[in-house]
């Protein structure tokens, strides 16, 4: 390979299903030390690129050249369910395989410090917050100081401090980084190039520049292509009309008609495929449960984590939620926000009172309340309320881009973003009186977020939200706040 090029794709083709390509003749190269964003529509093949780099899958055609001296580390989106019973030490020890050094614990603690993960190594993964798990996934990838670091949605569940620490780390990291993320501000803080995957043409374009510069370049290209096509359409129409007119004349005019038809055909061949962006989910309404009382939720005391210890806190003024209220629960990673949401979801527990017969809808950040072995249609059918039909179910699912082929898929085979859309569809079908949202923007395409925010604002029941995405929170009409770090 060329000097400083550590990774190159040559005319790579890939397909999961026969005759349904994901990538077609993909070509790009990555130089040592560069920080590259993978960008593209849902299903364009961003995660597939990572799998091809790690060797988890093989290309159907073409070649992938990786510098033979390079090591690769990948930070995945989520921790496998089978690993949740492990301790931090046991989980990170796996990175050594069968060749565990005697001083491995030193490497474990060094990697944890690099991402500011300050937890005892005997803590079980299942007892960690979402933000702590996000840092652990990054720690796992750093254990071998990889020459090529692959990050898949690394800011999910991270608070502002965690994102700031991650950006600082990436700016200081002297090796190569490839990132998949929907967080534009995060990407713009360190990106120096973008690889754009197009789900419609199955092709790849490579750009140089920071994230916002590249987005502008792409938009300019779309506008240029639209204008070029409009000019060509006008030219084609003109040539065809003139060719038809001269074709019925004699002598040299017939030759002119032929030339005009050839020019029209050439212009048609010059038409370019204008890049299309992802479809956005349809506007939707979450129906509210009928006949719920005035006070839907009352929180009088709760527990938070301080210095890895559980501390009980009695609220000076109880937090009460009524129909239409939106409660934002905030605080740094690890303070117990998700634990509090789980307690609320259980119903009436000490210190937390739910209104009589209130039905709770719960959007979990790890989708733990979805059955991964169940097919999508059966999962939606479970949420179907009395009086609804299968046609209602399919119509609602289609609004969340879950139609046709998705109905028969196992939930475990969906992408994380598709699992999120399924969870929203189930909430619409369930008609709850209280909805709990734990990081509802994780894995969700940024185009869907304003639609989701509008649906939450229009929901007439009570809402409890935990979210580290400031832009999303600003779109919600918050009526109550509970700041755990200020109790």
Strand partners, 11: none
Choose the CATH number for 5-215 among 3.40.1440.60, 3.40.50.300, 3.40.30.10, 3.40.50.2300. 3.40.50.300
Query: Which segments within 214-293 are labelled E, that is strand?
Result: none
pLDDT confidence of 189, banded at 50, 70, 90? confident
Mean pLDDT within 111-124: 86
Q: Are 450 and 444 within 8 A, CB to CB?
A: no
pLDDT higher at 251 or 147:
147
Q: Return the biggest CA–CA distance within the chain.
A: 99
CA–CA gap between residue 100 and residue 32 (Å, rounded): 28
Supply angle C-alpha 219, 225, 228, rounded to 5.
145
What 3-state class would DSSP assign to 429? helix
Q: Are 39 and 181 within 8 A, CB to CB?
A: no
Whether residue 473 has pLDDT greater than 70: yes
pLDDT in tens, 6-61: 999 999 988 876 667 788 888 999 999 999 998 887 677 888 899 999 989 899 99
Superfamily covering domain 295-486: P-loop containing nucleotide triphosphate hydrolases (3.40.50.300)
pLDDT in tens, 123-169: 999 888 888 888 898 888 888 778 999 998 888 777 777 788 888 88
Joined tokens for residue 467 = 């979210």
pLDDT confidence of 179, banded at 50, 70, 90? very high
> Residue 45: its pLDDT value, please?
81
> Residue 276: its pLDDT value, please?
58
pLDDT confidence of 332, banded at 50, 70, 90? confident
Kindly state the DSSP code that residue 159 receives in the 8-state scheme: -
0.75 exceeded by pTM = no
> Residue 254: its pLDDT value, please?
73
Whether residue 88 has pLDDT greater than 80: yes
Q: Are 163 and 184 within 8 A, CB to CB?
A: no
Whether residue 3 has pLDDT greater than 70: no
What 3-state class would DSSP assign to 178? strand
Q: Are 6 and 70 within 8 A, CB to CB?
A: yes
Q: Average per-residue pLDDT in the chain?
A: 86
pLDDT in tens, 363-392: 998 898 899 999 999 999 999 888 889 999
What 3-state class would DSSP assign to 86? coil
Whole-number percent of the chain with pLDDT over 70: 96
pLDDT higher at 256 or 364:
364
Q: Using a CB cutoff of 8 Å and minimum separation of 24, what contacts does 388-392 make?
A: 388/429
């Amino acid at each position: 390979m060329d000097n400083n090029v550590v990774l190159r794709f040559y005319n790579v083709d890939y397909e999961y299903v026969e005759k349904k390509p994901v990538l077609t003749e993909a070509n790009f190269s990555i130089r040592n030390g560069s920080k590259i964003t993978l960008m593209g529509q849902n299903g364009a093949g961003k995660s597939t690129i990572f799998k091809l780099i790690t060797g988890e899958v093989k290309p159907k055609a073409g070649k992938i050249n990786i510098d033979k001296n390079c090591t690769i580390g990948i930070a995945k989106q989520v921790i496998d369910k089978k690993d949740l019973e492990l301790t931090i030490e046991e989980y990170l020890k796996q990175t050594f395989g069968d060749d565990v050094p005697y001083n491995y614990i030193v490497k474990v603690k060094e990697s944890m410090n690099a991402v500011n993960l300050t937890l005892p190594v005997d803590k079980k993964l299942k007892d960690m917050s979402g933000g702590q798990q996000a840092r652990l996934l990054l720690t796992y990838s750093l254990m071998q100081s990889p020459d090529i670091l692959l990050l898949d949605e690394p800011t999910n569940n991270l608070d502002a401090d965690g994102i700031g620490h991650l950006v600082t780390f990436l700016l200081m990291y002297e090796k190569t980084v490839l990132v998949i993320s929907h967080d534009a501000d995060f990407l713009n803080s360190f990106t120096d190039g973008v690889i754009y995957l197009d789900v419609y043409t199955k092709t790849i374009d490579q750009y140089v520049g920071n994230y916002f510069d590249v987005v502008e370049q792409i938009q300019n290209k779309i506008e240029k292509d639209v204008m070029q096509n409009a000019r060509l359409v006008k030219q084609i129409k003109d040539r065809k009309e003139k060719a038809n007119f001269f074709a019925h004349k004699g002598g040299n005019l017939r030759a002119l008609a032929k030339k005009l038809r050839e020019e029209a055909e050439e212009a048609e061949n010059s038409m370019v495929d204008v890049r299309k962006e992802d479809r956005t989910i349809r506007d939707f309404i979450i129906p509210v449960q009928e006949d719920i009382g005035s006070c839907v939720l009352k929180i009088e005391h709760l527990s938070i984590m301080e210095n890895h210890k559980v501390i009980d806190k009695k609220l000076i003024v109880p937090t009460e939620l009524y129909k239409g209220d939106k409660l934002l629960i905030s605080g740094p990673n690890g303070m117990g926000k998700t634990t509090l949401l789980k307690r609320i979801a259980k119903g009436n527990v000490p210190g937390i009172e739910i209104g009589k017969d209130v039905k709770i809808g719960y959007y979990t950040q790890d989708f733990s309340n979805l059955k991964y072995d169940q097919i999508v249609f059966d999962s939606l059918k479970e949420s179907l309320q009395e009086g609804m039909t299968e046609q209602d179910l399919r119509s609602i699912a289609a609004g969340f881009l879950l139609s046709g082929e998705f109905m028969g898929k196992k939930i475990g085979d969906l992408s994380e973003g598709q699992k999120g859309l399924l969870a929203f569809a189930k909430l619409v079908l369930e008609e709850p009186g209280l909805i709990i949202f734990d990081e509802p923007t994780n894995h969700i395409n940024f185009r869907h977020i304003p639609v989701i925010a509008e649906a939450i604002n229009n929901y007439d029941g009570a809402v409890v939200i935990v979210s580290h995405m400031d832009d999303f929170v600003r779109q919600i009409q918050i009526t109550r706040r509970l700041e755990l770090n200020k109790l």
